[in-house]
Amino acid sequence: MGDDPAGARNHGTPATPGATGTAASAQAMSPPRLLDRVRQAIRARHYSPRTEKAYVGWIRRYIFFHGKRHPDQMGAPEVTRFLSALATRSKVSASTQNQAFSALLFLYRDVLGRQLTGLKETVRAKPSVRVPLVLARDEVSAILRHLHGVEWLMASVMYGAGLRLLECCHLRVKDLDFTKREITVRDGKGRKDRVTVLPSALAEPLRLHLEKTSRQHRSDVSAGAGSVALPDALARKYPRAAWDWGWQWVFPATRLYRDPATGHWRRHHLHETVLQRAFAVAVRVAQVAKPATCHTLRHSFATDLLERGYDIRTIQELLGHSDVSTTMIYTHALNRGGRASRAPSIPANESSAAPVENGTVRGCPGLPSPGPLVANIPLHRSGFSAYTGQVTKVLSRP
């Protein structure tokens, strides 16, 4: 019979009574690993979880690029070679290279306590100025027509209020004001709050959705669950707030999970990939020949307001941009400059016309005629006027 190597090792070295405790204390006294220090520094500055994931990923790639050398043994020359390789070999975009540079700058400045100098020789990717992808109103209507249930409501809210995907997922019941027709975006990009419009066309669908969600919440509470995660240390300040209706997610997940820290059964918000997958299918089925994503709805919201005559400062407030130059990129929708000239009129050819009969195009039985928009999602009758630095909501009654 063969001997067990693991057993031989265990029996060959007799354990002393204090060996286990000594090893545990030594492990506790050992300094944290580098990536753990990076995570601690990021969380101490209240950076978002996505920033933490991206920074840790870039630092790990930087270490593996140089053969697993410790960053404290490297400096500006190694950073320059890594960033140059991203631009020349990997052909990354300028924004991707800038993100990698920010991660390494954070590593050396805020974790290792060193200043990086002499990075002028770094090959930088050439920044590109791109026009954002925008959907026309009939294209948005065609896509929404192929969305149903919660996915339709979330996409409609994104289009009607100009929300980002995660801003829509993170909405809580208390953030919806049906009286003022406002949506308060909490802790958005850059940890900034803002107020945007709640479309009139979505008021009733949202009420019905919240009634269903409220019944589900009461059922969860009756079963011993029904709590949600609260931001920062709010759970210690208000211990029962996690079960309050106002703090519940507007778009909750379909399943419960057990919080490992508290042991409470909770319901997270609907994962963003649910809407992303449904939207991708809707774009394909609607035969929209554009690489549209959920974020395209936000671009379409901005350009739609510009075309309807809203000033750029109002749109900046609704989108939550810190700099108006970021909002100015949407002015391409106004067709100013050389594109403002009208194309010569082309006379219609009666023989090539495709009249509509019985709701379909003649000669194409399977092609339905263009119908009206599914819903007038944006609340275009709602205006925002700036006065003494305040944004005042002016609702005009129809």
Phi, psi (rounded to 5 degrees) for 123: -75, 120
Q: Is 298 a catalytic residue?
A: yes
pLDDT value at residue 297: 96
What is the spatial distance between Cα 5 and Cα 124, in angstroms, rounded to a whole number? 54
Q: Do 307 and 333 meet the contact criterion of CB atoms below 8 Å apart?
A: yes
Q: Is 37 a catalytic residue?
A: no
**How open is the CA angle 379-380-385, to the nearest 5 degrees?**
105
Residue 329's pLDDT band, with cuts at 50, 70 and 90, is: confident
CATH class label, 137-334 = mainly alpha
Q: Do 317 and 168 meet the contact criterion of CB atoms below 8 Å apart?
A: no
Q: Is 380 a catalytic residue?
A: no
Catalytic residue among 37, 61, 268, 295: 295
DSSP label at residue 243: G
The pLDDT > 70 percentage for the chain reads 75
Closest CA to 184 of 199, 174, 195: 195
Catalytic residue among 39, 264, 298, 299: 298
pLDDT digits (tens, 9 = 90+) for 59-79: 999 999 999 999 999 998 999
Interacting residues of 363 by C-beta distance below 8 A, sequence separation 6+: 354
pLDDT value at residue 247: 96
For 384, the enclosing helix (H) or strand (E) is strand 382-387
Q: Is 330 a catalytic residue?
A: yes
Q: Is 310 a catalytic residue?
A: no
- Decide which of 3.30.470.20, 2.40.100.10, 1.10.1270.20, 1.10.150.130 is the CATH code for 34-111: 1.10.150.130
pLDDT over 60 at 14, yes or no: no
pLDDT value at residue 365: 43
What is the spatial distance between Cα 70 and Cα 68, in angstroms, rounded to a whole number? 6
What is the spatial distance between Cα 85 and Cα 61, in angstroms, rounded to a whole number? 12
What are the extents of the domains in the chain?
34-111, 137-334
Q: Is 321 a catalytic residue?
A: yes
Whether the predicted model's global pTM rises above the 0.85 cut: no
pLDDT digits (tens, 9 = 90+) for 114-159: 888 877 667 777 777 778 899 999 999 999 999 999 999 999 999 9
Catalytic residue among 60, 124, 189, 332: 189
Q: Do 393 and 179 meet the contact criterion of CB atoms below 8 Å apart?
A: no
pLDDT value at residue 116: 83
One fold for 34-111 and 137-334 = no
